[in-house]
Structure 1
């Protein structure tokens, strides 16, 4: 419209007038109209052969108008010049910008590499399109199946497999897990949970390296003058602990706690140690387990009956009448194991009445067990004084057994018939073992501190709600246990922390006051902090998996037994706990009911993939009984660790927004909190 020395005033198609600097103008023309020129130039630009244009371009900097005249004709007008300008801007792999209207052609090798990259990108896009079409059609491409768990939980969002699943989910308008299940990517719900755990925790597989033999301990270990016995479940193969009682009837009794001692032969940083440190703990689940140590090592050091087994022993001398602790002594020795008692076979026989003399005690080690039970009761009472309140065992332990064909000793496949039985917490045999282990872990924890030897401790500052158990390298009170310090030391065959502490305790036994100089781990050793951090993470993940897979089998039990209704007690926020099953689930309509109210829930459906049980409120059975404050606090703390179903995946259909795992799932992921403190450990 008008032009000054340094600027122009132009009118846009919209009618708006704007001021433009002269230095910003690259093309001047009078006709045709701007819109018509741009339309014509766009059409012409699409026909420009970039390879030919690159050949015509000079080696140095050039102006787009000059290249237009070389490419089209010397009389190339505004339309053709504009077409060349548009085409040059579209092809940065051929031409680089060198200033206002100026360009420079890229070197030949750069052009070839860029063209190859563009072609590969087209091929990948076509592959994504083909894979997405297969998924929508109900077929899973092999590359997607192979990358399934990475796509869902640790995705490379630029990977073609991930993009294919996202594109297919959008096209089919289905939740990703529904889509993948329909396409056959997920073999079965059980395999989904199992393989996801292995992908996350055992990416290299579960087999031990070849050639890991069990090293023999020193042959000159003295043999203890005791007849020890262990108390475990019949399925237990890693027998870590045994007990002995000497001096009954003399007024002074020596109570022995004997712990399997792989630490006598497994050296720090040895191949076996590296394997144990990588696994950090045995993984337990119904019908299967992944041991921390190879079976050959476990069998060499387990406290099997009929053998003199290498052991780290704690002998506590007590007044037989008052049960006052007079002294304690630790030894490295061979311990004769007279029997492996199995509580699942003895619980009905070894009762409180038989242990206290109110009923006949017709079983082996009757007098030793009677004393051990009296001692356990006394130790528990003393801890409860420190604790400030008694320990409550309001809910039973649940045992899972899978019915399998004879000779079938492989991994479960998820279709087995599951049997769930209960065992009351705090049963006499349980109490004996639990208190003996607490005594050993607390005593050895204090003994390490006396010698200035670091260890790995568990502590809890108070019993207030929300105060969790923590691990550290210095002794500190454990409020939940009611002890001055607590160092896991009694399960070295199945927990790496216990193996580390065993090395430290053995140093104290062998070197006394100079143990701090000889112990494998010195004060402020960075390796201890590394072990602590790794163990805490692995133990939490393993317990989370165990809770989740036990929930799977519980839901299978509901299915297999066609349970239509389940009686339960109200917890909070619409959650209820089944009366006779280890199952917490959501029941709409219970949100306003007080904690402890009993209800009957009607089963509406089960999703074994998301581990959810869908239920409705069938009836309210009774009013809630008022709970004591202490019990309510403990129940609330346990509720925090309860898995309630639901599954969350890392695959996103929109930027920053997680996709629903499945159409039926709107719950949060199951908690991966560690199990309650294992007192018998």
Structure 2
């Protein structure tokens, strides 16, 4: 960490405010830093505040710098509309997520149909029932773009009261928008329907769902079989498999915790079912000529074979950026002819727009035009990009804090890329990548000590031992 200088300047209240504004990205210059002979940059201001003990190491300025709001939404909620809903409370519905999740927005059910078909139900929180196009709630959600998930706090895209009202399984029964796909054993969908429903949801962690699968619960076995067939079918259509380490980073007054996300089969099952929901929603929208933010992606720049960490690292770098457009197109990375994100309307604005369009069709209302969808997409993507960048930088900040608290620890790192004398290391336990000068081929496992951690610059050095 940055050490305190032998003589630290005393700052007046006005000087501290001036330096903090620069550190937060709310000012471009600082006379105080200039007088001290320091660079007038947010990083330099951050470093000074740390050296003087005016900011704790837990302070993260990245959301401020990027313009991502940290204030919760306080808008009032409208009343639930009076409307007919298909009663699915007789089905077992499971909201499966990480332990401690506070915004359950999707759940799964299965029905066993004649002829060997299985109907996969993906129930999604009916947020659009309360957030109508161009309402104050809609405009604020669009301005945020997405929920901001930081290691030390969550800033919801929508009011927390709305999350409590629409979250699946937070009440005895929950209103939902449900996507039904009649699936055969090969992973093909023979029919797709969308309904406004009422469901009874049981909340489970991934670990609890995995235990149900291992115990042979028919619902969970059917979900796993469906997901496996669907994933195999997408792979045959060119879907890319990318498996890189993931960690959960939590920070509070007691410090930082970095925990690897267990790679349970049920996690992959749930992810595949959510992919099927997005495919089904896109098919439904296309069938009825509804413009929605379809997610598209060009083919990869090159083929990368193998199942090693370096192969997965290289494969991810071949992916083109996902584009959102009002007309359908192929999503090459997923191996799908069309796709739309639909399972997180309380957390991602473009998912909410898809729901608004589906609801308009189901209720006979006038849907938004392609031009309106394109405008909303552009605005929301710009705002969500700031949110995602703030998340990424804040996570790295706290991961470096976690590592700095263990200065003598040796970490196992894998060389995932090599260019000349420079290599890129990946530390799986931290999901942290960093450059190093090392004459080691991709795939080589090294033991490293992390040194010279500088939080303001988010920099660290790896000393190969």
Shared fold per TM-score greater than 0.5 = yes
Q: Indicate yes or no: 2:33 matched with 1:165.
A: yes
State the alpha-carbon separation in 2 of the partners of residues 576 and 259 from structure 1: 39
Q: Indicate yes or no: 2:388 matched with 1:543.
A: yes
Choose from 492, 508, 519 the match for 2:345.
492
State the alpha-carbon separation in 2 of the partners of residues 583 and 313 from structure 1: 38
- Unpaired runs of 5+ in structure 2? 1-6, 302-317
State the alpha-carbon separation in 1 of the partners of residues 223 and 230 from structure 2: 10
Tell whether the 8 Å contact from 1:145 to 1:185 is kept in structure 2 after alignment. no
CA apart distance, 1:480: 0.6
CA apart distance, 1:215: 2.8
Larger radius of gyration: 1
1:617 maps to which residue? 464
TM-score (norm 1): 0.59
Q: Indicate yes or no: 2:423 matched with 1:423.
A: no
Q: Indicate yes or no: 2:246 matched with 1:400.
A: no
Q: Indicate yes or no: 2:143 matched with 1:290.
A: no
Return closer, same or farther for 1:143/1:242 CA change in 2, 3 Å cut-off: same
Question: How many residues get paired?
Answer: 436
Q: Indicate yes or no: 2:124 matched with 1:259.
A: yes
Return closer, same or farther for 1:185/1:166 CA change in 2, 3 Å cut-off: farther
Residues 67-466 of structure 1: matches in 2 within 5 Å? 138-148=9-19, 150-152=21-23, 154=25, 162-169=30-37, 176-177=44-45, 180-181=48-49, 184=52, 186-191=54-59, 193=60, 195-202=61-68, 206-209=71-74, 212-213=76-77, 215-218=79-82, 220-224=84-88, 225-247=90-112, 251-304=116-169, 307-319=172-184, 321-337=185-201, 339-347=202-210, 349-350=211-212, 354=214, 360-361=215-216, 366-387=217-238, 391-393=241-243, 395-402=244-251, 412-413=252-253, 416-425=254-263, 427-464=264-301, 465=318
Q: CA RMSD in A?
A: 2.8
CA apart distance, 1:432: 1.9
CA apart distance, 1:231: 0.8
Tell whether the 8 Å contact from 1:223 to 1:308 is kept in structure 2 after alignment. no
Choose from 501, 505, 511 the match for 2:354.
501
1:129 maps to which residue? none
Tell whether the 8 Å contact from 2:110 to 2:119 is kept in structure 1 after alignment. yes
Q: Deviations over 1:495-533 (max 9, x none)?
A: 11111110101122233xxx7xx11x11222xx333222
Return closer, same or farther for 1:178/1:429 CA change in 2, 3 Å cut-off: closer
Structure 2 counterpart SS, 1:259? strand
Tell whether the 8 Å contact from 1:140 to 1:185 is kept in structure 2 after alignment. no
Return closer, same or farther for 1:431/1:179 CA change in 2, 3 Å cut-off: closer
Structure 1 counterpart SS, 2:350? helix
State the alpha-carbon separation in 1 of the partners of residues 204 and 26 from structure 2: 49
Structure 2 counterpart SS, 1:524? helix
State the alpha-carbon separation in 1 of the partners of residues 435 and 413 from structure 2: 11
Q: Deviations over 1:579-620 (max 9, x none)?
A: 4222222333x1x432222222233332222222223222xx
CA apart distance, 1:265: 2.3
Structure 1 counterpart SS, 2:333? coil
Return closer, same or farther for 1:153/1:335 CA change in 2, 3 Å cut-off: closer
Tell whether the 8 Å contact from 2:245 to 2:428 is kept in structure 1 after alignment. no
Tell whether the 8 Å contact from 2:407 to 2:449 is kept in structure 1 after alignment. no
Tell whether the 8 Å contact from 1:298 to 1:493 is kept in structure 2 after alignment. yes
2:430 maps to which residue? 581
Return closer, same or farther for 1:600/1:322 CA change in 2, 3 Å cut-off: closer
Return closer, same or farther for 1:428/1:323 CA change in 2, 3 Å cut-off: same
Structure 2 counterpart SS, 1:207? coil
Structure 1 counterpart SS, 2:334? coil
Structure 2 counterpart SS, 1:581? coil
Q: Indicate yes or no: 2:452 matched with 1:608.
A: no
CA apart distance, 1:277: 1.8
TM-score (norm 2): 0.85
Return closer, same or farther for 1:542/1:441 CA change in 2, 3 Å cut-off: same
Q: Deviations over 1:186-238 (max 9, x none)?
A: 512331x2x342353246x50323x5135323254342242311111122121
Tell whether the 8 Å contact from 1:155 to 1:162 is kept in structure 2 after alignment. no
Residues 662-681 of structure 1: matches in 2 within 5 Å? none
State the alpha-carbon separation in 1 of the partners of residues 91 and 109 from structure 2: 7
2:311 maps to which residue? none
Tell whether the 8 Å contact from 2:94 to 2:204 is kept in structure 1 after alignment. yes
- Unpaired runs of 5+ in structure 1? 1-135, 355-359, 403-411, 619-681
Q: Deviations over 1:618-640 (max 9, x none)?
A: 2xxxxxxxxxxxxxxxxxxxxxx
Structure 1 counterpart SS, 2:140? helix
Tell whether the 8 Å contact from 1:169 to 1:176 is kept in structure 2 after alignment. no
Structure 2 counterpart SS, 1:278? helix
Tell whether the 8 Å contact from 1:459 to 1:469 is kept in structure 2 after alignment. yes
State the alpha-carbon separation in 2 of the partners of residues 199 and 614 from structure 1: 25
State the alpha-carbon separation in 2 of the partners of residues 179 and 554 from structure 1: 18
